[in-house]
Amino acid sequence: MANILIVDDDPLIRTLLIDSLTPLDHSLMVAETLSECLSVISTGKFDLVLLDVNLPDGSGLDALPDIRRVVSDPEVIIITGEGDAAGAKMAIEHEAWDYILKPFSLEKIILSVGRALEFRASKQIFTPAPDSVFDRSNIIGTSPKLTACLYQAVQCAGSDADVLITGPTGTGKELFASAIHQSSRQKKHNFIVVDCAALPEQLVESVLFGNVKGAYTGADAPREGLVKKADNGTLFLDEIGELPLSIQKKFLRVLQERKFKPVGGTDEIRSNFRLISATNRDLHQMAEDNEFRRDLLFRIRTIHIQLPSLKECREDIKPLSLHYIHSLCTHHGLETKGFGPEFLDALESYDWPGNTRELIRSLEQAILANVDSSMIYPNFLPPHIRLHQIQSSLKIKTGSSIPAPDFNSADTGVTISLPRELLDPIAPLKQVKIYAAGETEKLYLSRLMTVSNGDMEKASALAGISKSRLYSLLKTCRTDVNE
């Protein structure tokens, strides 16, 4: 028995589908709108979703990525009255099982549902839960997006297919690659890391393929390349987008034939390796711009894992912080420190453009800011993160960003609004002055920290005050906000 969610605003279609599927002994639920669908699907455990496209509150196709990302990862059959090529393309890109046009025959629906559920059952036999056999090592977090990536990694570990891992910088691409290797058939053999971004163009070929003695000036001895060292194991090409075009061509041949010639050599060498590549660059765009070979791109992305940014997985910030505070304190020979809710608020309100790597580094800076303290406080964090929290709190408090004024516009004036309660009834002048001075100070500090790029030294010099005074002002500013 499968759990099926029917999402359609047309009562006739819903009744028709319920009548056809009930005899098959499935558990059926219905949703009439997109929001109802998303709310139900996030809490239930569905195997299949029959999804209408034109719903009263939006397009089912737009919600397809969100539906596919929920933990139960249901199969989806699109049912639409207005089929078009773009919609079909989007459905296929998000791995919808079928794309059925209305009016449809009941036989077609029953057949499609049957096949989708058969496929799901076979998939589940080969897809154990991520934690059961997969060594997730330091991959911390339980957010739906990360969990979806872990499920993909489990699939990768169970096959020999080449894998492409993409995602913004600092999201843990190497960690995923290593975890896939550790849980794969190749785990008893080598995991060879090649950092393509660290290799100058003139060295790449000999590093990858090796060289014979005398192949070039300075090649005093024959060297085995990393491709050969990865024989029977995994070759991890980090930042593959940095691989020079001339090497891309040679590497494509290696992938096709699993043999290559070392630099200056004539004999071919065999190597049977599993390839995992990673990049934070848009390889499709690079292929469009003739900076990356399209044929190589198609060859390396048999399975593609797109890692989410930390901003998309805010619920993972707490477990990540707990894990890394412990590791970092151990690394620095300190007792593990604790933190309170206000510290977590500061972390969770920030967007982390450098992702987990930036989070780890900021935690380390906070730990080292006061090694004697058993607790980590928000004011131990780097100034730009504290400033962001202040600004976010102000947005919440006033309902709009204070001010975030455009200092670069031709009109360099910045206006401070007085709240109505100070003017109606009219408040004493002293009270208005205090309010205006406080707001001016906040605006000034915001601009000061932006201009000085978070550098306290530079900021205090620009403001003509001591660093400790600046710290104190920033702290007061934050306290005001939290009141």
Residue 115 or 281 with smaller CB distance to another protein: 281
**Which is it for strands 75-80 and 58-59: parallel, antiparallel or unpaired?**
unpaired
> Between 135 and 364, whose beta carbon lies closer to another protein?
364
- Find the DSSP H helices in 313-382: 317-331, 341-349, 355-369
Q: How far is the CB of 103 from another protein (least distance, A)?
A: 50
The smaller minimum CB distance to another protein, of residues 218 and 413, is found at 218
CA-wise closest residue to 376 among 364, 387, 385? 364
Q: Is 337 helix (H, G, I), strand (E, B) or coil?
A: coil
Nearest approach, Cβ of residue 346 and another protein (Å): 16
Min dist CB 364 to another protein, Å, is 5
Closest contact distance (angstroms) between CB of 208 and another protein is 12
What distance in Å separates the CA atoms of residue 120 and residue 28, rounded to the nearest whole number?
A: 17
Interatomic CA distance for residues 447 and 348, integer angstroms: 23
**Which DSSP category does 24 fall into?**
G
Nearer to another protein, 74 or 210 (CB): 210
β-pair type (75-80, 98-101):
parallel
Which residue in the block uniquely carries the two structure tokens 């080292």?
368
Token digits of residue 169: 């910088």
Residue 324, helix vs strand vs coil? helix
Angle between helices 11-21 and 106-126 (to 10 degrees): 60
Sequence-distant (≥ 6) Cβ neighbours of residue 89 within 8 angstroms: none
Specify the residue, 100 or 278, whose C-beta has the smaller distance to another protein: 278
At closest approach, how far in Å is the CB of 285 from another protein? 12
**Partners of residue 5 on adjacent β-strands:** 29, 49
- For the bound state, the minimum distance from the C-beta of residue 468 to another protein, rounded and expressed in Å, comes to 20
Question: Distance between CA 428 and CA 250 in Å, rounded?
Answer: 79
Closest distance of CB 223 from another protein, Å: 6
Tokens representing residue 262 in the block: 């070392």
Cβ neighbours around 199 below 10 Å, total: 19
For the CB of residue 355, give the shortest distance to another protein in the complex, in Å: 8
| Shortest Å distance, C-beta 359 to another protein | 11
Place of tokens 């090529």: 85
Strand order in the sheet with 48-52: 27-31, 3-7, 48-52, 75-80, 98-101
Phi-psi sector, 290: left (phi>0), alpha (psi -120 to 50), beta? left
Q: Is the dihedral of CA 19, 21, 27, 33 positive or negative?
A: negative
Q: Which is nearer to another protein, 120 or 388 (CB)?
A: 388
Of 299 and 384, nearer to another protein (C-beta) is 384
Angle at 236 between CA 232 and CA 242, to 5 degrees: 140
Beta strand 75-80 pairing with 163-166: unpaired
Nearer to another protein, 110 or 369 (CB): 369
Between 55 and 346, CB nearer to another protein: 346
| 10 or 174: CB nearest another protein | 174
With beta carbons less than 8 A apart as the criterion, state whether 6 and 27 touch.
no
- Which residue ranges make up the site for another protein (CB under 8 A)? 168-170, 174, 190-193, 195, 197-200, 202-203, 207, 218, 220-224, 226, 229, 280-281, 327-328, 331-333, 353-354, 357-358, 360-362, 364-365, 368, 382, 384, 453-455
Least distance from another protein to the Cβ atom of residue 144, Å: 25
Min separation Cβ 256 and another protein, Å: 25
Q: Which CB sits closer to another protein, 203 or 418? A: 203
The neighbouring-strand residues paired with 312 are none
Tell the smallest beta-carbon distance from residue 79 to another protein (Å).
42
Q: Which of 303, 311, 245 is nearest to 274 (CA)?
A: 303
In angstroms, the Cα distances linking 73 to 61, 80, 120, 147, 446 are: 16, 21, 10, 10, 44
